Amino acid sequence: MTTTVLLVDDHPVVRSGLRAVLDTDTVHVVGEAATGEEAVTLAAHLHPDVVLCDLRLGAGIDGIQTTAALRALDPAPAVLILTTFDRDAEILGAIEAGAAGYLLKDVAPEVIIEGIHRAAGGDMFLAPDLAGRVLQGMRNPLPRLTERELEVLRLMSTGAANKDIARTLFVTEATVKSHIAHIFTKLDVDSRSRAIHLAQETGLI
């Protein structure tokens, strides 16, 4: 029995590649979308078994938001994330949003096909090298930063000084320092550059 698949990627070349590689006797590509919005519309009409979705989709909503929207459809397709990046926060975010699996783009085509069938069957499918990381990520979850703290962290990462951040957020420097102190405690670091580095590594920002 063939599994129907909808491709979502903002690069035409990648879509062609996936179509060429996936369209076999067990997998049938029924559509392609370049954006998350388009993906949701198409999925609502085509009812694919599986949506194969990139995380980075250029402008518009990202892969995680797309996943959530797709999972809210009825019937909901299984969503398989296929992307180049392996930042922890994104993987966790995709899983939380209801993705059935997460694959890196450098895997062999057969692995993607296997993942599609597993996803269609209701299984979870994680690239082997990611599985351990994800489990550890769930055991050692990154502390949840508040929205305000994330704002400060993002500004910090652009090189803004406390004074700049204070001006941008219309608060005093004391408040910024307070937020930063909390951020440091939560991330278990003791300098802004380390915080920035950690945040970028884990995909927190």
Query: Tokens standing for 72?
Result: 């809210």
Contact call for residues 50 and 3 (beta carbons, < 8 A): yes
| Positions 82 through 121 that interact with a copy of itself (CB under 8 A) | 84, 105-106, 108-109, 112
Neighbours of 181 (CB within 10 A): 10
Q: Does 15 bind a copy of itself (CB under 8 A)?
A: yes
Q: Which of 6, 8, 18, 183 binds a copy of itself (CB under 8 A)?
A: 18
Cα–Cα dist 137/134, whole Å:
5
Residue tagged 């599609």 (tokens)? 116
Q: Does 20 bind a copy of itself (CB under 8 A)?
A: yes
Q: Shortest distance, CB of residue 21 to a copy of itself, whole angstroms?
A: 5
171: CB partners within 8 A, 6+ apart = none
Residue tagged 């450098």 (tokens)? 106
Q: Shortest distance, CB of residue 192 to a copy of itself, whole angstroms?
A: 6
Stretch that binds a copy of itself, among 43-51, 132-140, 156-164, 171-179 (CB under 8 A): 156-164
Q: Shortest distance, CB of residue 187 to DNA, whole angstroms?
A: 10
Q: Strands 78-83, 50-53: parallel, antiparallel or unpaired by DSSP?
A: parallel
At 86 the three-state DSSP class reads: coil
Q: Which of 1, 45, 170, 191 binds a copy of itself (CB under 8 A)?
A: 191
> Which residue ranges make up the site for a copy of itself (CB under 8 A)?
10-21, 58, 84, 105-106, 108-109, 112, 156-161, 189, 191-198
